[in-house]
Amino acid sequence: MSTIPSGAGGLQQVMALRRQVVEQSDALRNLREAGAAEANNPTQQAQATGGGFADTLRSTLDQVNAAQARSAEMSAAYERGEVTDVAQVMMARQESSVAFEATLQVRNKLLNAYQEIMRMGV
């Protein structure tokens, strides 16, 4: 069984954990609502966002870049002694690593598809 730490530090930890749970719950709710809206009318959703493949790819690459910048900033802050929670630093580094790996896999799939199209006879 886990116990709740006592004192002000324990209360702060509990409040931080609660805040994380609420943020994750809100994010999941937003995803579920967006999925339901897209399922109801996918063409209107695509037209409303003006999103084509290039826009989606660009925004995804921007998100990966932001994750890598956040990871670098947290690592530098840890080295300066500003951040003392090594778990946060490692999570940011792992998140940016996974995002980069996923980007590489997408790039490889796109490259394979392009090469296959180029090999096709007209």
> pLDDT tens digit string along 60-118?
999 999 999 999 999 999 999 998 889 999 999 999 999 999 999 999 999 999 999 99
Q: Using 50, 70 and 90 to split pLDDT, how confident is the model at 1?
A: very low
The pTM of this model reads 0.53
pLDDT of residue 57: 87
Which residues does 63 contact at the CB level (< 8 Å), separation at least 6? Answer: 99
The structure tokens 């063409």 sit at: 43
Check: CB of residue 96 under 8 Å from CB of residue 71.
yes
Cβ-count burial 34-69 (b if 16+ within 10 Å, e if not):
eeeeeeeeeeeeeeeeeeeeeeeeeeeeeebeebbe
Whole-number Å distance between alpha carbons of 110 and 102? 12
Domain boundaries defined on the chain: 1-49, 51-122
pLDDT higher at 104 or 49: 104
